[in-house]
Amino acid sequence: MKNLLILLSAAALLILSSCKDSTPTPTPVVVDQLKISIQPTFGPMNLNLDQTYVTAEGYNLQYTDIRFYVTSLSYNSKELCQAALFDYRENGTSFITQPGKPADFPSLNGFFGVDLAYNHDDPTVWPTTSPLNIIVANDMHWDWNPGYIFLKVEAKVDTLNDGVDNFNHYVVFHVGGDNLLQSVELSGYNWSQVSQGVFQLPLKLDMQKFLQNGAQTIDVKSEHSSHSMVGEEELSSKVIQNLKDALSPL
């Protein structure tokens, strides 16, 4: 009887252990993350949409939309990000979050705008998380040709310096087209560790410099609209160059 009990116990142990879920708990793989943020400013001040700033010409101006694409961002042949869309109203200062190691990206090169390699692709075939997917791109896509809108800057301006708020002058810059694609280079920065395995590169986008870029100024009273159409080449080019130049390490 004693032997039988031992036998039964051993059998029960064997059966129970054979039926239980034996999947081993995987050891989590820690992957470093690189985050790039962009803080829009107006000169030394952090910029908020719908808030009033004064231009060099003395106009009261409220930015209402700031969006742009950066694509093929890489160091040498190592790509950090295929495409990123900065959308201040929707996503705040958040720009890029990708797996990677800081040492692999001591500087970054890419395009301000959408790389020719993608600009005329079918916008429906990108993964649903890609900024180039038509649902994510939303109104940042005109058509297969000319392709994506590289940048949107919209603002309301009160051009009358009469002490009465009347923001009835609209600024609409929608710039794109292969010939306006700009190379962009970011260097002279340091990734800073913000938490375990997370490294951040904070950038700033100076929207005062966007209007006053050295000799290349934009007077929003007379230069207030561009859709990159024929006849708008000069302003379109100035807009995208100025916005690119407004971007720098914080």
How far from 174 is each of 3, 46, 121, 233, 246, CA to CA, in Å? Answer: 87, 23, 20, 12, 17
- From the CB of 58, what's the least distance to another protein, in Å? 21
Q: In sequence order, what DSSP letters do the residues of 38-59 get, joined into one string?
A: EEEEETTEEP-TT-EEE-TTS-
Kind and range of the H or E run holding 5: helix 2-19
In this structure, are residues 216 and 241 in contact, taking their beta carbons and an 8 Å threshold? Answer: yes
Query: What residue ranges bind another protein (CB under 8 A)?
Result: 4, 7-8, 11-12, 15-16, 19-20, 50, 64, 122-128, 133-135, 138-139, 141-144, 154-156, 167-168, 170-172, 225, 227, 229
Which CB, 7 or 103, lies closer to another protein?
7
Q: How far is the CB of 160 from another protein (least distance, A)?
A: 15
The distance of closest approach from Cβ of residue 91 to another protein in the complex, given in angstroms and rounded to an integer, is 14
Cβ nearer to another protein, comparing 91 with 225: 225
Nearest to 242 by CA among 214, 203, 219, 223: 214
What are the angstrom distances between the C-alpha of 71 and each of 22, 120, 141, 239? 45, 14, 15, 18
**7 or 117: whose CB is closer to another protein?**
7
Q: Which is nearer to another protein, 91 or 144 (CB)?
A: 144
Nearer to another protein, 16 or 30 (CB): 16
Dist CA 212 CA 207 (whole Å): 9
Q: Least CB distance from residue 164 to another protein, whole Å?
A: 13
Min separation Cβ 207 and another protein, Å: 16
